[in-house]
Amino acid sequence: MSWVANARMYAVTADASAAWAELFAWVARKSGVDLETIQHPTRLPMTALWTRSDLGAAFMCGRPWSRAEPKPVPIACPVPAPPRYEGLPRYMTDIVVRADSPFRTLEDTFGHRIGYTLEESQSGFNALRHHLLGYRTASRPALYAESVGPLHTPRGVVAALLSGAIDAGPLDSYAFDLMRAAPDDPAHGLRVVATTAPAPIPFFVASRSCPPQVIEALRAAFLAVEEASGLAAVRERLLLRGFSPVSEPSYDLLGTWDAEALAAGYETPQ
């Protein structure tokens, strides 16, 4: 049987998309699994990808994964290469503004317009809300004049910032790093004013109908990426150190952040 692979969450530039396709082709050869790289346009919801019965490998955020029933099968976590990730399978949310904006700190953006991606997103919603929670007070339960969303994707946040539709917004740090690796990317027109605490990064998952032997072959191939000399250029293009096993309990942190915000009556980043 043929299985499909997709890296839409981190295929944020043309070069990154091509590099992921090269990596999938290597994983297919290494694992012996018939793995076909497919496109999943941004107009389609990610749930349509995650629920495919022929899914072999696709990135899934830990927040929707922890809520899914049944859950897709975890395969492996990416380990981003930039120093701020400290060699761990984690990421953060960069809270960004236009580079030419007058805002210098996160507090400067209060009273203006904040954007968010989707309620199901860790980086574009849950992490942002958790970070903002610490700034709320009884006399100031809402930090912003307007909360704008859903903006759906990191690219949606970039476009909203550059168009002036919002004044500040959240970006998945790894996606943002990949955008800025492209010299002419519009993301260079943005500037970071705050970064959230780290959280476990989105990981590759497969359909529950995928046989265990296929899962294990794919997992072994992904875990071999770090030491594969033939993938040095691909790793460099993807700002990728390699992959690590998925620690499922570590994603409980995302639920804790959600519960803390809801307990405080803070349902939406605002």
* 15-26 pLDDT per residue, tens: 999 999 999 999
The Cβ-side half-sphere exposure at 52, using a 13 Å CA radius, reads: 22
Instruction: Provide the pLDDT confidence category of residue 1 given band limits of 50, 70 and 90.
Output: confident
pLDDT at 202 over 90: yes
The residue among 28, 48, 72 whose CA lies nearest residue 246 is 72
pTM: 0.97
Which pLDDT value is given to residue 42?
84
Instruction: Provide the pLDDT confidence category of residue 233 given band limits of 50, 70 and 90.
Output: very high
Buried residues in 112-142 as b, exposed as e (16+ CB within 10 A):
bbbbbbbbbbbbbbbbbbbbbbeebeeeeee
Percent of the chain with pLDDT over 90: 98
The residue among 148, 254, 153, 250 whose CA lies nearest residue 196 is 254
User: What average pLDDT does the structure give for the chain?
Assistant: 97
CA distance 223 to 231: 13
Q: How many helices (H) and strands (E) does the chain have?
A: 10, 13
CA distance 216 to 78: 17
> Dihedral (C-alpha) 158, 164, 170, 175: value to the nearest 10 degrees?
10
Which pLDDT value is given to residue 97?
98
Are the CB atoms for 223 and 245 separated by under 8 Å?
yes
Taking phi over 0 as left and psi of -120 to 50 as alpha, with beta for the rest, 217 belongs to alpha
pLDDT tens across 35-90, in order? 999 999 888 899 999 999 999 999 999 999 999 999 999 999 999 999 999 999 99
Mean pLDDT value of segment 150-177: 98
Which pLDDT value is given to residue 43?
85
